[in-house]
Amino acid sequence: MLEASYVLEGLWITLQMWGGAFLLSVVLAIPVAMLRGSKNPLAKFIGALWAWIARGIPPIAWLIIIYFGLSLGIISEVPVLAAMVGLGIVNSAYIGDSIRSGLESVSNGQWEGAASVALTKKDALFRVVLPQAIPVMLASTAAYSITLLKNTAIASIIGANEMVFYAYNAVQVGADPITAFLTIGIVYLLLTVPVGMFARWLGSRAKRGSERVVY
């Protein structure tokens, strides 16, 4: 039998990993987006290389490498931390994309318009472009964060005691697998469906906003 208290305890760990990996990915993504948007070819290359490697290796392989393969002190010893780092790296590539596409969604005319009234580049970015780009970034970031949430399940494989971990262990000692895993699945749906709706709402709002500006 999968005890409710275990599900709740697992849920708490799931949410911690989700939040931790998300924050880490944003922290990593900002320099990555800046590197990729830079005019310097070397910086551009490094940014692209990071995104390529982060995305090109399956999240489970990242976790196994960090936890079993590397010796990064406490990170390689605590499964929850290893998972946060691994998933944060993978997600940074996607968040970097959403920052870039958010900026690109603002038409060139907005930069030109800002320049025409003699705004500095910094003012143009913070006062004109970002206010339009952020809704677009938020929408895709919210969508990617659903994938991130689901990927936290992988951490159970390296022993992080999140929801799937408890369900798996309960099944190993005789709990009914269908009930146990479906219970966890429903908890995931309770999280992903509202976040998905929120992402779609952000997306439609961002679209309306940009249409108002462009046309």
Question: Footprint of another protein on this chain (CB under 8 A)?
Answer: 52-53, 55-61, 64-65, 68-70, 101, 104-105, 150-154, 156-157, 164, 167-168, 171, 176-178, 181-182, 184-185, 188-189, 192-193, 196
Give the DSSP per-residue string, the chain: ---HHHHHHHHHHHHHHHHHHHHHHHHHHHHHHHHHH-S-HHHHHHHHHHHHHHHHS-HHHHHHIIIII---GGGGT-HHHHHHHHHHHHHHHHHHHHHHHHHHHS-HHHHHHHHHTT--HHHIIIIIIHHHHHHHHHHHHHHHHHHHHHHGGGGGGGT--SHHHHHHHHHHTT--HHHHHHHHHHHHHHHHHHHHHHHHHHHHHHHHHHHHHH-
Please say which residue, 35 or 168, places its beta carbon nearer to another protein: 168
CB of 119 to another protein, least distance (A): 24
Smallest gap, in angstroms, from Cβ of residue 122 to another protein?
25
From the CB of 121, what's the least distance to another protein, in Å?
22
Task: CB nearer to another protein: give 38 or 183.
Answer: 183
CB of 23 to another protein, least distance (A): 21
